[in-house]
Amino acid sequence: MYCAHHITRVARLSIQRVTPAVMLFCLLAAVMAPAHSAAAEVRKLPARVAAAFDLDDIIDNVRFCYDRAPEVIYFRYDRAGNRTSVEARSIDGVVRTVFVFPGMGDPNSLSCSVDGSTIAALSSQQDYLYIFQASQLSTYKIVHWRLYSVGGEYSLLSPAGSMISTLDEPTLVSGPDALAQMRFLKARLDERVFFEGGYAYIDEDNRTIDVYRYADGWKRLRSIAMPAGFGTREISRCGSHLVATVTDDNNARFLAFEPQGTVNPDWLNRIGFKALLRGFSDLVEIHGRYGRCAFPLSPKRDVRKLLLGIATLDDHGILRFAIEGPPMALSDDDIRLTKDGCYALLSAFRQVPKIPEFTMRQQAVVLKLAAPGCDF
């Protein structure tokens, strides 16, 4: 503003009226300006398909679940035997069965702790809870069950595997009592629960996001206001920040805040998130695991969900990846990253649809990312 003011004076008077000190200040400002704006520049890097497998008899919502070597877990339903297997698959295609339970599972409920030691899932009608821990399966009955959909990546089980939430407190049917070592949060039907970093974030009837912490019971710390008519779809940790994706089904907005609930409205703008979305569809969800977040880059007003690339974000800013090879179309919005940020997992149609499509064959795709520190 200082330089602009004196440039205006130069136009009105003459350049001889500008003192040498002012000229030096403005020259330094001009030199330094590109360096300042580069902090929000989005780096563009390549990505390629490292693995893909069909989802023909797999209930969707594949996700990473492992301690050291990356593995993907998912439900595989055996219609003839009426049972569901939780399978784990390595990036190079080695498959193993983790555990089996009767009937179908609710795909949104499949949850895994950060270290891969605890896996939890609900039955398709949410009347049974299954917890697999230390190579043992615990089965719980939820007596007063009501049809309920698990909202986010960490809505049933917390990242550390130490907290869990269902509509009613489960009763042990078989196996060791895994819940005895966990903090239980009873949710209401109109609430959506999201766990992260020792806190629970509860969206109650699309009004506020209430921040809770456990201290001899769950205590509310503060509330985060939301836009009127919007509900929370996901809360993810992106570096040291949390980002809530809120939507009214026609529009999406993004709230950045600290774990204790202090809102940080400018962070997404500073790292270039809002500027990047101006060129792509802004009807996205931000998903995260292991401290990194990701979201798809798709063309505006194209309901086929063509995938033009993906973007990741954390405390170091945003990286944008262009995918080598033929075009793809997403079959859902979830994009998940490995702990090192070198691989991304998504679900896509086998062929790009010409119109909006929900019944075409799908596949899980693992992308290798040329991110800093990754062997591409």
The sign of the dihedral angle between the CA atoms of 66, 70, 75, 81 is: negative
What is the pLDDT at residue 248?
A: 93
> 150-174, pLDDT tens digit by residue?
889 999 999 999 999 998 889 999 9
Antiparallel, parallel or unpaired: β 128-133 and 163-166: unpaired
> 199-239, pLDDT tens digit by residue?
999 998 788 999 999 999 999 999 999 999 999 999 999 99
40-49, 180-189, 254-263: which has the minimum mean pLDDT? 40-49
Q: Is 30 helix (H, G, I), strand (E, B) or coil?
A: helix
What is the pLDDT at residue 148?
A: 65
What is the reported pTM?
0.86
Order the strands of the 58-64 sheet from edge to edge.
58-64, 71-78, 83-90, 95-102
What is the pLDDT at residue 59?
A: 75
The sign of the dihedral angle between the CA atoms of 124, 130, 131, 136 is: negative
**Residue type at 47?**
A
Phi-psi category of 9—alpha, beta or left, where left has phi over 0 and alpha has psi -120 to 50? alpha
Mean pLDDT to the nearest integer, 316-341: 95
Counting beta carbons within 10 angstroms of the beta carbon of residue 139, is it exposed (0 to 12), middle (13 to 18) or buried (19 or more)? Answer: middle
On average, the pLDDT of the chain sits at 88
Return the structure tokens found at 136. Answer: 């043992």
What is the pLDDT at residue 198?
A: 92
The answer to whether 368 touches 48, Cβ cutoff 8 Å, is yes
